Amino acid sequence: MEPHDPRWIQAHEVGEYVFCARAWWHRRQGHPVAHPEQAEAGRRHHHRLGRRRRWGERLIVLAALLLLVGSLLLIVARLSP
C-alpha cells in the first residue's frame, strides 16, 4: 500500500473518528455537509457530552477520595482506646 492510498488512515483522522465515527465516515466518503445547522447542533451536542463525561470522571475521583478518607477514619476510630 502506498502512503496516499485511500485505505490509509492519517493520524489526525483518528481524533476525528473518536469524536464522531459517523461524521468521519461521511467525510471519508466525500459526502458534503447537507445541513450545516444540523452539523453545528451535533458539534454542540458532542461538546455537552464531553463536559458531562469530564464531570462524571471528577465525581468518581471525589467518591474514591471520600471512601479512602472514610476508611482511614474508621481504622483510626477502631485503633483508638
pTM of the model: 0.53
Per-residue pLDDT at 59: 97
CA–CA separation, 11 and 4 (whole Å): 13
* Tens of pLDDT, residue by residue, the chain (81 residues): 566 676 777 787 888 888 888 888 888 888 877 788 888 888 899 889 989 999 999 999 999 999 999 999 999 999 987
Asked whether 39 and 33 are in contact (CB, 8 A), the reply is yes
Helix or strand (DSSP H, E) at 32: none
Per-residue pLDDT at 80: 86
Which amino acid is it at 48?
A: R
Residue spans per domain, the chain: 1-32, 36-81
